[in-house]
Amino acid sequence: MRQFLMLCAGLMLALANVVQAADTSAGEKAYASCVACHGASGEGSVALGGPALAGQHEAYLVRQLTNFRAGLRGADASDVRGMQMRGMAAALADDTAVGDVAAYLAGLPQQVQSTETADADMRNGENQYNGACGACHGGQAQGNVGLSSPRLAGLDAGYLKLQYQNFAAGIRGAHPDDRLGQQMKMMATMLSSEKDLDDVVAFIVSQ
């Protein structure tokens, strides 16, 4: 009898997982309103400041969309792009819609935004990156799902630099409920100069 009950419980759990599975077709439809800034294939737009989203970790995408919707991100008046994104995220009906969009984007082939980094000191960038960023974001900036760290490789230089500066200035990661953002806010004090930041960004872009 006990084995039968355990089997039923297992089947119910499996059924629940199926029911709760993200609907990537619905996610694709919902993403249609995001194409103007983030590209038809999630490749992003350097000109519009829209980061590449294709192939990003699903959990990270869910968290950021949820943070935008809840006002944990994009609430600072200095974060113009964040405020714009906050409005766009609010258009998603509920958590299910957020999950659907995130699953759709995570399943797309990774896109790479090319940015000129000819003047960068790549050796310094690699050293600074490994000292300040690599433990969480991976040696090749591939991210780490277990540490809730997003993939940075594939993002354009301007976006990476702006987000680091936003963390350092308290424009991003300041909300008390954004625990992971607060951690990154503290880490954004690790680089001692803008030159080091530029070199680190160049190293990330090269991955």
Work out the average pLDDT over 43-57: 95
Q: Which of 1-10, 52-61, 100-109, 192-201 has the lowest mean pLDDT?
A: 1-10
- What is the per-residue pLDDT for 5? 40
CA distances in angstroms from 80 to 5, 38, 171, listed in the order given: 55, 16, 10
Instruction: Find out whether 17 and 9 touch, Cβ atoms under 8 Å.
Output: no
* Structure tokens that stand for 4 in this block: 């039968």
Tokens of 19: 């029911």
User: Which pLDDT does position 115 carry in this prediction?
Assistant: 66
Using an 8 Å Cβ cutoff, are 132 and 184 in contact?
no
CB atoms within 10 A of CB 84: 16
**Cα separation, 28 vs 9, whole angstroms:** 33
pLDDT digits (tens, 9 = 90+) for 51-96: 999 999 999 999 999 999 999 999 999 999 999 999 999 999 999 9
Spatial distance between the Cα atoms of 89 and 138, rounded to a whole number of angstroms: 28
Question: In Å, how far are 10, 51, 102, 120, 131 from 167, measured between CA atoms?
Answer: 44, 16, 23, 22, 18
Which helix (H) or strand (E) segment is 203 a member of?
helix 194-205
**pTM, entire model:** 0.87
For the CA atoms of 135, 159, 182, 136, the dihedral, rounded to the nearest 10 degrees, stands at -10
Q: pLDDT of 160-181, one tens digit each?
A: 999 999 999 999 999 999 999 9
pLDDT of residue 11: 40
- pLDDT for 114: 65
pLDDT for 4 equals 39
Examine the pLDDT at 7 and tell me if it is beyond 60: no
Confidence (pLDDT) at 12:
44
Tokens 């619905």: give the residue. 26
Three-class DSSP labels, 26-51: HHHHHHHHHHHHHCCCCCCECCCCEC
Task: From 157, 204, 162, 166, select the one nearest 185 (Cα to Cα).
Answer: 166
Q: Which domains does the chain have, with CATH numbers?
A: 23-109 (1.10.760.10), 118-207 (1.10.760.10)
Chain mean pLDDT for the chain: 90
For residue 17, the model assigns a pLDDT of 43
